[in-house]
Structure 1
Amino acid sequence: MTVRLETVVLTGMSGAGKSVAMQALEDIGFFCVDNLPPALMPRLLDMAEHTSGTLSKVAFACDLRGGSLFEPLLTTVEELRGRKDMDTTLVFLDANEATLVRRYKESRRRHPLSPTSRLTESIEQERLALAAVRAAADFVIDTSDMASGALKKELTSRFQPHISRMPVHVVSFGFKYGVPLDADMVYDVRFLPNPHYIDELRPFTGEDQPVYDYVMQWPATQQFVTKAEEMLDFLLPEYQREGKSHLVVGIGCTGGKHRSVAIARHIANHLRAVADVELTHRDRGREG
């Protein structure tokens, strides 16, 4: 069965949020190309079809920055809509004049259409030039009252309607080697009894069953993992709804060999029911 290539052509008013929109599409698996002349889109899509299925979703962003190269946009979109090997959606991002003026003032950028004209005049010229494109769009998103997160959520709901399982990276580590720089959340388990001080357990790690059983046997451990996992169960869907694409959970003890490894194992196993989990023991084999 041939898989149809999903193609999004993103355009609209300068300052309406195309950069944020492309980031959102990239986060949900689109191969994104910015400022490509429309006439070149069919060629790139032909190349994508010969990548043995590695590219199934492609998004293009283009606007009046391209000058005369932008003019064939509607003709190109109609050509793509007529192809039986792909589904093509034209998305137009818009915003009211007051919002566009405010965004340009905040960014201190000049309008690309007429950098020497007054900003309001440039916006009006662009709106007139894009009127036909706006009318031909499959849907228009008005970003006037949208924060970046809301725009990402809107695009995700349209192009990835079934929320996928969130990627979660659980990392055990030793505080004496530093907290992982990319950690979103950090749990400190140094309050638990330390197997390091049990001679027969010291050579092993939290991946070994005797150490794991030792760490997990305490009432404080059981209470901690229950509370930590309840918190993560609550937070994961909330983070997803707000557009977060990946979560890194750090579990730390002194050396990253015993307690943090055992607790990270337990939490990772719990989260696998609701998330795509990767488990890493950063300092497990590190001594000294």
Structure 2
Amino acid sequence: MEVIIISGLSGSGKSIALNALEDNNFYCIDNLPVTLLSSISQHLNHEHQDKVAISVDIRSIDIEKLPHVIKEIESLSIKTKLIYLESSTESIVRRFGETRRRHPLANEKLSLDEAIEKERSMLAPLAEIGYKIDTSNMSVNVLKTALSELIQLKEDRLALQLSSFGYKFGIPLDADFIFDVRCLPNPHYESNLKNLTGIDKPVIDFFENFKEVDKMFQDINHFVKEWLSAFKIEQRHSLNIAIGCTGGKHRSVYIANKLFTNFSNPKSQVTIRHRDINH
């Protein structure tokens, strides 16, 4: 049996995530009191429900006890995976404006912005232990794909998540390390390369002509390789390495792809996402 726990900020896409899991034959429960997680998991295990997804958030009673309860469930030999969704304040404000729903923490003393930041602070301990997904600029289909990738990862191995992004669209909130490659030569100023991306061969050929591009790749590669084992020892489930350039189409995509190729092997758990490649 595996229990997927979906948590995160209000307005970050938890309902969409839960619906996606339900479409993939998960038995889903929304907004369960945290103290009931262990007993419900045991009951469903006895009922031979091998795929269970439970949503808990700031509305859930005793949300602060979730890290302890997860350990309690795992002690019963039930695999547990916490997926934490977050999003920028700007995107959450926009979503609440579109749906005209009220934020759970909003009241006459707290503006919507203040309620979002208060929730972010209250849920920070969960963000530290979960598989993080930044949904700020994600479509529904991209979120479903990211969920599918995380669900397939094995808990006994550290998952390396690589991503590229454009600084002009904001820094990804789910990154553990961010590397800035805006100092590298930019194909954007080459008329025949401007509308291509870092996965296209002419752009790859362009980058391979510059020693500084290879030096940047080697330095980042060495850093990740050097410290990956340390994070495994700390029993981290995932490590998200984000590579950023101005627009997120050329330099960051090229470096992220090279890292993906270098770290991918039958024994590894490596995923890649190019956040802004289609902007």
Where does 1:258-277 land on structure 2 (aligned, <5 Å)?
none
| SS in structure 1 at match of 2:82 | strand
| SS in structure 1 at match of 2:59 | helix
The total of aligned residue pairs comes to: 152
2:99 to 65, 84, 107: 107
Q: In the alignment, what sits opposite 1:29? A: 25
Whole-angstrom CA distance in 2 between matches of 1:23 and 1:36: 16
2:59 to 60, 65, 79: 65
RMSD: 1.4
Unaligned runs of 5+ in 1: 162-288
Deviations 1:47-84 (A, max 9, x none): 11222x3x111111011112x43232111112123332
Q: In the alignment, what sits opposite 1:127? A: 120
Q: In the alignment, what sits opposite 1:141? A: 133
Report sequence identity in percent.
38
Deviation (angstroms), 1:38: 1.1
Contact 1:38 1:62 (C-alpha < 8 Å) held by counterparts: yes
| SS in structure 2 at match of 1:71 | helix
Whole-angstrom CA distance in 1 between matches of 2:113 and 2:25: 36
Instruction: State yes or no: 1:97 paired with 2:89.
Output: yes
Instruction: State yes or no: 1:76 paired with 2:69.
Output: yes
Deviation (angstroms), 1:7: 0.7
TM-score (norm 2): 0.52
Deviation (angstroms), 1:9: 0.8
Deviations 1:240-275 (A, max 9, x none): xxxxxxxxxxxxxxxxxxxxxxxxxxxxxxxxxxxx
Contact 1:77 1:88 (C-alpha < 8 Å) held by counterparts: yes
Whole-angstrom CA distance in 2 between matches of 1:26 and 1:145: 23
2:46 to 30, 50, 74: 50
Q: In the alignment, what sits opposite 1:6? A: 2
TM-score (norm 1): 0.51
* Residue identity opposite 2:85 in structure 1: L
Q: Which has the larger radius of gyration?
A: 1
Q: In the alignment, what sits opposite 2:146? A: 154
Deviation (angstroms), 1:140: 0.1
Contact 1:28 1:156 (C-alpha < 8 Å) held by counterparts: no
Whole-angstrom CA distance in 1 between matches of 2:102 and 2:128: 26
Whole-angstrom CA distance in 1 between matches of 2:39 and 2:17: 23
* Residue identity opposite 2:68 in structure 1: T
Instruction: State yes or no: 1:15 paired with 2:11.
Output: yes
Deviation (angstroms), 1:148: 1.1
Unaligned runs of 5+ in 2: 154-279
Contact 2:93 2:113 (C-alpha < 8 Å) held by counterparts: yes
